[in-house]
Amino acid sequence: MKNSIFLAWMVSRKLGAIHQAHYDGQLKDDDPVEILERRSGQDSYNSSEVAVLERLNSDELKELFKSFKGEDLTRRIRACLMLAGNSEGLMRNTQKALEEIGNESPLNKHRLSKFNIKV
C-alpha cells in the first residue's frame, strides 16, 4: 500500500514538472504587454514571465510604461511591480524607469505617487 501511494506521488510530481516545463516554454515568446495584461489584478505569476521582463532594461521599460494609457497604465504597472517583487534586477529597472518618467513633469510625478516610488 505504501509503495503504491509513493509511486502515485512520484508520478504526480513528475507530471507536474513536465506540465510546468511545457508551460514555461510557451511563455518565453510572450510579449511583455501580454504578460502584464494577463497578470493585471492577479497575485500569482510564473517565473518564466519574470524572466521575459528581466530582459528589458530600464529604457525599454520606460518606453513600455509610456505607451500605456488610462486604466491600462495603472493595472499594468502594478502587475510589473508585483512580478518584480521576486527579482532584484527587474525591480531596479522598473523603479529607474518610473523615476525617470516622474522626473519629466510635476504631473507625471503626481501620477506615479500611487505606486510609492520616490521621485
Rounded to two decimals, the pTM is: 0.72
For residue 95, the number of C-alpha atoms closer than 13 Å in the C-beta half-sphere is 12
Mean pLDDT for 88-96 is 96
Instruction: With beta carbons less than 8 A apart as the criterion, state whether 118 and 100 touch.
Output: no
> Using CA atoms, how far apart are residues 3 and 63, in angstroms rounded to an integer?
56
pLDDT value at 83 more than 90: yes
pLDDT tens digits for range 54-80: 999 999 999 999 999 988 999 999 999
28 — pLDDT class (breaks 50, 70, 90): very low
**Contact residues for 26 (Cβ-Cβ < 8 A; gap 6+):** none
Least confident of 34-38, 43-47, 70-74, 96-100: 43-47
